[in-house]
Amino acid sequence: MTRRISLTQYLIEQQREHGHIPQELRLLIEVVARACKRIAISVNKGALGDILGTAGSENVQGEVQKKLDIIANEVLIEANEWGGHLAAMASEEMDDIYAVPNRYPQGEYLLLFDPLDGSSNIDVNVSIGTIFSVLRKVNNARGVSADDFLQPGKQQAAAGYCLYGPQTMLVLTVGDGVAMFTLDREQGSFVLTEENVRVPEDTQEFAINMSNQRHWDAPMHRYIGECLDGADGPRGKNFNMRWIASMVTDVHRILMRGGIFMYPWDKRDPGKPGKLRLLYEANPMSFLIEQAGGASTNGRQRIMALTPTQLHERVAVVLGSKNEVERVTAYHLEHDKA
């Protein structure tokens, strides 16, 4: 039975006993958690809160913004700009970075987020989430620019997500394993409900958008074809499929019971390496998955070893149960050699 302690107590223990996180990082994570509780209130209102539907604008990705996308983004900005622990923020919903205004003290951390991932699910009441990643500002010069954010994912100080589902859950790593917290609405606080989360190395469950199958390259056709051949095929076992079209929810399932999540390159837009964003989707999810014993590549290379060249860079994603990710990656590397 996991001991029922609060997020604050967990973080103080990480700070005091493991020397794992400095005070400033603990404060940052607590502020993000409070912002997520505020977002959960808006998400849970649904049609009663005039927060459904589109905002009549597009984000830097050219995607139609939902009202809740903008609300969640504003909540995270307002919660984090004054605390003194951040130098700047970057978001899927903002073209450029948001430097902490001069009226507030600047800190050493950089916060990146997808304020509401899976927002196409909002209007149909399917789980969505907030994804966040924390980097250190390594350039000590005064001032901050987008270049400060272009660090490989292995340099993250912390990463996590808040899942707005049947339960509101915060899932977090500070580099010392993965812990899960469930929002106790009576107390209004996140309570530890899982720690030392482990992803099984094998799985019989894959997550991919099958409607894109005709656009994939050969290694993906090979891997998914073998899964679909089931017990009579080369894998000798049957596979199940899930696709919720909300990365937070698919990754949460994988952390809870294993699986492999794939959003591969496809030929619809050959110049685009993938659909998902490297800095505030793939990197934080890869940190969590690796900390739980899983693996995460772009089909060829470890995602957290990639050095970004632009803030909203996209990447192909293959993550989850280690042995399956290694198989998909091996198929890509064999294909390249052929």
- Distance in angstroms between the alpha carbons of the first and the last residue of the chain: 51
Binding residue (CB under 6 A) for ligand P6P from 246, 286, 297, 321: 246
Binding residue (CB under 6 A) for ligand P6P from 93, 117, 205, 266: 117
Residues of the binding site for substrate = 117-120, 209, 275
Collapsing DSSP to helix, strand or coil, 272 comes out as coil
Q: Which two tokens stand for residue 38?
A: 């505020």
Q: Is 291 in the site for ligand P6P (CB under 6 A)?
A: no
DSSP for residue 211: G
331 Cβ contact partners less than 8 Å away, ≥ 6 residues apart: 219, 222, 223
Q: Are 38 and 72 in contact (CB under 8 A)?
A: no
Q: Which of residues 21-60 bind ligand P6P (CB under 6 A)?
A: none
Q: Are 67 and 144 in contact (CB under 8 A)?
A: no
CA distance 22 to 15: 6
Choice between 144 and 282, CB closer to ligand P6P: 282
To the nearest 10 degrees (0 to 180), the angle between helices 23-45 and 7-16 is 160
Q: Is 241 in the site for ligand P6P (CB under 6 A)?
A: no
- Least separation in angstroms between residue 224's CB and ligand P6P is 15
Q: Is 324 in the site for ligand P6P (CB under 6 A)?
A: no
Choice between 138 and 245, CB closer to ligand P6P: 245
Phi, psi of 280 (to 5 degrees): -120, 10
Q: Is 268 in the site for ligand P6P (CB under 6 A)?
A: no
Stretch that binds ligand P6P, among 51-59, 138-146, 243-251, 305-313 (CB under 6 A): 243-251
Looking at beta carbons, which residue is closest to ligand P6P? 247
- Least separation in angstroms between residue 60's CB and ligand P6P is 14
User: What are the distances in angstroms from CA 240 to CA 205, 229, 230, 257, 258?
Assistant: 5, 11, 9, 13, 12
Choice between 69 and 290, CB closer to ligand P6P: 69
Quick note: the x/- pattern for ligand P6P over 179-218, rule CB under 6 A, is: ------------------------------x---------
User: Which residues contact ligand P6P by CB under 6 A?
Assistant: 117-118, 120, 209, 245-247, 275-276
